[in-house]
Amino acid sequence: MTKTSRPEGLLGLGLLAVVVLGPYLFAALTGTPDEGLTGLARWQSAAAAVYCAKGLSPIVWLLVGGVVVLAAATLAGRRLGALGAALDGARGWYLVAVAALIALPFLIAAGTNSSACSRGQAFFWQAIFVDVFTMAILAISYNLMFGFVGVVSFGHAAFFGLGAYSVGLLMEHLGWPWWGAVLGSLGLSIVIALIKGFVGLRIRGLYFALFTLAFAQVFFLLAGNRLLVDITGAEDGFTFAVPDFLNMTKNRLFFYYLGLTAMVVAFLVVQQLMRSPTGRVLVAVRDNEGRAQMLGYNTFQFKLIAIVMAGVLAGGAGVLRGLALKGASPEVLGLDFTMTPLIMTLVGGQATFAGPVLGAFGLHLLEDFLRDTVVTLGGVSINVGERWALILGVIFILIVIVFPYGVVGTVQNEWRKWRARRS
Amino acid sequence: MQPTLRVNTFRQSLILSGLFVLGLLAVNLIVFKPGTMAVVTLSGLYQGMLFFLIAAGMSIVFGLLDVLNLAQGAFFMLGAYAGFAIYGALPAGTPIEARFIAALVGATLTGGLAGALMEIGLLRPLYARPVYQIVMTLGLSTALNEVVRAIYGPAGLVPIEEPPLLATTFTIAGGQFETYRVFIIAVGAALMVGISLLLQRTRLGIIIRAGVQDSEMVQALGINVRRIFTLVFALGTAVAALGGMTAAPFLGAYPGMGTDFLLVAIIVIVIGGMSSYEGTAIASLLVGLTRATAEQISLQYFNTPILASVSILLFMVAVLLIRPNGLFGRD
């Protein structure tokens, strides 16, 4: 099968574009923009009126119906002719997942009897999902290095944290416009990744992992130090102002879709990269670097490509985080943001496309659901939320020992075995 | 590589290290007053010894088992907390000296026992999957940190009382220095020599050194390598726990203390060349001295200790660029 016959990602993006941009178009055509506002925010308030108009149920039903139809078509698969064939297998489920995430804010709003656009349950969950999307992007990026290319990095937090810091610093201290700051931060990720690659890749295997750990730690120490307190705010971090339309407190639904779009894009980038000839070589480097070299590939270049890609994605996740919180503090550069995507990748299944995303959703949502739960075992009561790091650590060890392929990997293996037995 | 060449690189690295130390001392001499210089040098040795106590186990274990034990810092912390527990558990009338010695012995045993359990229970299933081992030790380190946080709370414990004999300070060339830190230097030096003797002069040492070269061959000679693995792993964690307890009267005990020291220990073994014991011993002193000097310079001129951590990271990067396998590493 050639690359062009895999349209699921583009279909997903298209779906997103229609849902997110549709109201803008609608507002532009019919609405009356708020004259008190300027720029994008003007149209946004008009668009929000479309999203959040009273008696929204037609849109909700349309979305829910769309998800159900897609899911049914996917289940039916090839039996349904051209449409079903296009949706057959994993690609259909990707689409269903994207569609479900598009409908989700309205479903939560309907379920909790609150509006998707004003304070309440729906608002609260949108923020949590923005966090989930951010972590999913980070895990996707981690998986690119760890799963597909087999390069263990213990310094992924450096990219994430620098993304969050630089977008804020560029806007706050240099007065760059938001798009300049975002592009600048991504550019910085590329530069850092290149430095890391050129210096670090001379060092092999374990040395490289330790090198990245030290590399990330330098930034962590610098960010928390009083030496730069006027710029970074040292251990307290700093906050910055973002334009109204990017302000998650004011325009949370928009930010939710922004996060979702970013996640889908990250997913697509990695998927397309790994399905391209370059990706094949990357896997070959993981499996046997010597052999790839013997075949005439400059493995250094290929690993550099992977590091830069992963760096940009992780930096993007950091930018999203910085914008969402309208601030950054040294913890975004800490070991936690290397460990968490690593655990998510392992739980979901390394070297699979959906694994890191599922891992991020599963672990992050579990943490939020169990935040205030108290489990009593015998005489001991455990507050799950307070002990979450401990529980994660134990899950982590168990997975590493008994469940090495993660959820998606194990399911795929069983599925292949089952199919092999049938035929 | 040819044996003669290897001897040459070894000697070269030795000379390089010597020159580096001389350079550091020269910088010390120029920048500081004599009293400060003496204190900085002693404090560099003291830090270097603590780093050595953690790094020694990591380096030998890595050489023999090919496992980088990232939980070693957690064992350091475990030792400190075990010391506290023993201090508290002894009846009220016990003299401090007895408590102190009991805590040292108890912490070492706890560390060794926990290490043996970890090797048998968690590492053995993973020898076929090396990447997962290092990932697992990182997970275990998080888990141990959290267990301690759950039992003792997130705040640290105040340093335990040191024996009155060691709780003094003395003056050297006009600078004040605590006797207890000299005790730590002595403990470190004793272990440095002791482990070296163990490796060079005993049967177990020969087996370990042979195992570092080629553990399959050792097994083929009829030696139960698995048992040696467990023993060596437990020895490594025991030394780290002893280090933690030795530091407890000075640093106290707090949940993140292992991670702080682990990062430096990693830098030490990378600079020394992963599996080389001599390399680790020399590198820990180099790192200790570098760190102490940079800390003092940075305090003197920038009013913050920032250079302390940054300097050793830069040191590591510089060494890796000159010698991609560390100072005394094999290819």
Contact B129 A152 (CB under 8 A): no
- Closest-CA residue to B273 (of B47, B63, B24, B21): B63
Counted residue by residue, chain A has a size of 423
- Restricting to B residues 166-225, those with a Cβ less than 8 Å away from any Cβ of A are none
User: What are the structure tokens assigned to A137, written together?
Assistant: 């992007």
C-alpha distance from residue B162 to each of B95, B170, B187 (Å): 11, 16, 15
| Choice among A180-194, A209-223, A274-288 with the minimum mean pLDDT | A209-223
Distance CA A73, CA B226 (A): 56
Average pLDDT over residues A7-18: 67
Contact B313 A214 (CB under 8 A): yes
| Tally of structural domains, chain B | 1
What does the pLDDT read at residue A58?
A: 61
Q: Give the closest of B125, B129, B324 to A203, CB-based.
A: B324
Q: Is residue B89 part of a domain?
A: yes
Break chain A down into helix, strand, coil percent, rounded to 5.
75, 5, 20
Asked if A78 has any chain B CB less than 8 Å from its own CB, the reply is no
Q: Is residue B29 part of a domain?
A: no
**In chain B, what residues touch A386 (CB-CB under 8 Å)?**
150
More confident residue, A350 or A15: A350
Q: Is residue B72 part of a domain?
A: yes
Distance CA B207, CA B56 (A): 17
C-beta neighbour count of B203 within 10 angstroms:
7
Distance CA A17, CA A24 (A): 11
**In chain A, what residues touch B68 (CB-CB under 8 Å)?**
206, 210
HSE on the CB side for B78, CA within 13 Å?
Answer: 28
pLDDT category at A2 given cuts 50, 70, 90 is: very low
Q: What residue ranges define each of the domains in chain A, with the CATH number in brackets?
A: 1-118 (no CATH), 120-422 (1.10.3470)
pLDDT reading at A367 higher than 90: no
More confident residue, B193 or A8: B193
Q: Give the closest of A203, A227, A393 to B143, CB-based.
A: A393
User: What are the structure tokens assigned to A335, written together?
Assistant: 């070991």
Asked if A210 has any chain B CB less than 8 Å from its own CB, the reply is yes
pLDDT reading at A22 higher than 70: no
Spatial contact of B138 and B148, defined as CB atoms under 8 Å apart? no
**In chain A, what residues touch B325 (CB-CB under 8 Å)?**
207
* Model confidence, pTM: 0.80
User: What are the structure tokens assigned to B116, written together?
Assistant: 């043996």
In DSSP notation, B201-232 reads: HSHHHHHHHHHHHHHHHHHHTT--HHHHHHHH
**What's the domain range around B79?**
42-253
Task: Please state, rounded to an integer, the average pLDDT across all residues of chain A.
Answer: 79
What does the pLDDT read at residue A183?
A: 93
Q: Is residue B263 part of a domain?
A: no
More confident residue, B229 or B256: B229
What does the pLDDT read at residue A144?
A: 92
Burial tier of A143 (Cβ tally within 10 Å: 0-12, 13-18, 19+): buried
**In chain A, what residues touch B128 (CB-CB under 8 Å)?**
none
pLDDT 10s digits, A335-354: 888 888 888 888 888 888 88
pLDDT reading at A242 higher than 50: yes
pLDDT 10s digits, B31-75: 888 888 888 889 999 999 999 999 998 888 888 888 888 889 999
Highest-confidence range of A7-21, A55-69, B210-224, by mean pLDDT?
B210-224
Spatial contact of A349 and A407, defined as CB atoms under 8 Å apart? yes
Asked if B128 has any chain A CB less than 8 Å from its own CB, the reply is no
What does the pLDDT read at residue B74?
A: 92
pLDDT reading at A273 higher than 80: yes
Distance CA A374, CA A388 (A): 12
Q: Is the ipTM of this complex over 0.90?
A: no
